Chain A
């Protein structure tokens, strides 16, 4: 009888008067569950002499935490609060799950890439190299040339289009450009490579065509939409008062854009372009198709196959010699170089945005 009344009272709990878990409880539970699984895994690893898998331990520990927090909160705080806490922990778990591959990837690339991240890698090509030695100089030069040419193509077209969309564009043409630029951001990179190949092999009438500039065209197809979108956003941020002040002084529209609008937004535009470069510099598939691969240096964008860093990584992995390890080492070193380039570009972009953005007087 007493238990029945007790439960009856229990179900009519007021959420405001129920017990609350102390603030440290979730953190304590999380650390506790991680600790439990790290212990379990290290015991297993010690027993079977297998490698200690920290990622799996943290992952299972987080899952254990999700279950524990639900049960504990259900007992102390009631069903609604328990569900709230469960979702909170699940959402945090999702974030941790996404972090695990990132950390693991950066760690392996660093660990495997550093042994060959040496002077020889940056001063030698793969010409006449079998087995150990050699480097990725030809690939680095190729990547810089191809990406540079792609930037030269994309930035004028992308920036002018953005200006058109923001300053001039009204009506159907502007609307269709906006729509198709958005759709273009989703073109698979390999399709861009196929297009460059189909185009140049028909126009230049060479069924097996491979050359660097084709790769630049393919990359600009991927880069233009990114440049347009980011520049558009930046141009829209320029306050209309600046334009109106300029018009009021009798400055023509094109000079207003050149002297007022673009200088005001140049930091943002540069940031966008840098991010666009960092996006296409790692593209492999289109360059594999149209720029090809080679072991020699090639400084000429208009003729002959040209190696690039991502394709270098791929070919070192995919076509190793009889002794696989040196090829894999070079592939990892190439991957590390690529990641360093991309990270530096990202960092530079953020720095530009922070340092050169116009200071508003507030």
Chain B
């Protein structure tokens, strides 16, 4: 009638306890910091939301009327950037994962990563001094010849500082992140699926159509959303290149464009004081909420994929 001997418990050492405690603390600090971001932004936004709209800059009829063009401009510029960046990024990812010779593929990946290493303010300087003058004649031609199309309705911007220029620069900036994620997903495609397709006589493109793209679709979607989140929050390029006006417009080539939240904050914050600061922080809170939701969805999609792919 002897009971099974209790398994020997490891002695709880002081060093172990301190070490475990500090690692847990570090992890919790991160969660607290993220919560603090939300809490302090909300705390500083309340004065703006509660204030009498007449006190706001430009005296709009309500805070939301002030935000609407900003929110629209943010989404519009990011959407255009994504529209340009997504096909190119998927192309690059395919090029690196399935077309380029093995030996150079990694180097090509580094080169694309270099794009991500360039600071955004340098991209802004390049956008305004190189890209904008270069595309201005093209805009003139577009407005002259397809001006009947609503997106290109006249008058044309004489400086090239339009939402389309901004979107091009943003597209260049988000290409590296979309490429990196889609490349990883493409590389996870089961080898046997690819070889089966090739063995049935498929050309390389047919193999990619049948095996790689269907497998990588969720990954491509979440990569696109990560890129979208990056483009939504990008500040300096917009602040330096865009010539803003407080209105909602879809026109791509005009000199009055909807401003973006981030660009608006960067342009106005250094001189703002009093209630204006709270208004800008409130718009920042909206930007935080939008990007937070988009990033969360993207991460959930990626993580769900991981569970099924058998890659880990």
Binding site for B on A (CB under 8 A): 15, 53, 80-81, 83-84, 87-88, 90-95, 97-99, 101-102, 104-105, 108-109, 112, 156-161, 163-165, 167-169, 173-174, 176-177, 179-192, 194-195, 197-199, 201-202, 207-208, 221, 224-225, 228, 252-255, 257-258, 278-279, 281-285, 288-289, 292-293, 310, 313-314, 317-318, 328, 331-332, 335, 338-339, 342-343, 346
Closest to A310 in B: B121
CB of B203 within 8 Å of the partner chain: yes
B91 touches A95 (CB 8 A): yes
CB of B192 within 8 Å of the partner chain: no
**Neighbouring B residues of A283 by C-beta, 8 Å:** 119-120
10 contacts between A and B (CB under 8 A): A98-B92, A98-B115, A105-B123, A160-B22, A160-B26, A173-B28, A187-B292, A189-B235, A282-B120, A284-B236
Closest to B284 in A: A194
A80 touches B117 (CB 8 A): no
The stretch among B31-39, B52-60, B141-149, B243-251 that forms the contact with chain A is: B31-39
Query: Could you say which of B20, B87, B130, B287 contacts A94, with CB atoms under 8 Å apart?
Result: B87
**Neighbouring B residues of A289 by C-beta, 8 Å:** 265-266, 269-270
**B252-277 interface bits toward A, Cβ cutoff 8 Å, 1 = contact, 0 = none:** 00000000001001100110011001
A183 touches B26 (CB 8 A): no
**Docked CA distance A288–B236 (Å):** 10
B40 touches A198 (CB 8 A): yes
B201 touches A285 (CB 8 A): no
Q: Is the interface of A mostly helix, strand, loop or mixed?
A: helix
**Neighbouring B residues of A160 by C-beta, 8 Å:** 22-23, 25-27
CB of B229 within 8 Å of the partner chain: yes
A88-B204, A288-B270 known; A252 vs B15 contact (CB < 8 Å): yes
A101-B172, A335-B121 known; A183 vs B295 contact (CB < 8 Å): yes
Closest to A255 in B: B15
**Docked CA distance A92–B88 (Å):** 10
Within the complex, what minimum Cβ distance (angstroms) separates A221 from chain B?
Answer: 6
A198-B44, A288-B270 known; A191 vs B233 contact (CB < 8 Å): yes
B20 touches A168 (CB 8 A): yes
A99-B111, A289-B265, A343-B117 known; A254 vs B122 contact (CB < 8 Å): no
Closest to B295 in A: A186
Within the complex, what minimum Cβ distance (angstroms) separates A276 from chain B?
Answer: 12
B236 touches A314 (CB 8 A): yes
12 further interface pairs, Cβ-Cβ under 8 Å (given A174-B27, A194-B265, A283-B120): A53-B134, A91-B91, A92-B99, A158-B26, A168-B23, A186-B226, A189-B235, A194-B281, A195-B40, A198-B281, A317-B124, A335-B122
Query: Could you say which of A165, A177, A284 contacts B235, with CB atoms under 8 Å apart?
Result: A284
B27 touches A252 (CB 8 A): no
**Docked CA distance A104–B122 (Å):** 12
Interface centre among B26, B121, B266 (most CB of A within 10 A): B121
CB of B72 within 8 Å of the partner chain: no
Closest to B225 in A: A186
CB of B210 within 8 Å of the partner chain: no
Residues 103-135 of B at the A interface (beta carbon under 8 Å): 108, 111-112, 114-115, 117-126, 128-131, 134
Closest to B99 in A: A91
A91-B99, A194-B41 known; A108 vs B130 contact (CB < 8 Å): yes
Closest to B125 in A: A335
**Docked CA distance A101–B176 (Å):** 13
**Neighbouring A residues of B292 by C-beta, 8 Å:** 183, 186-187
**Neighbouring A residues of B20 by C-beta, 8 Å:** 168, 254
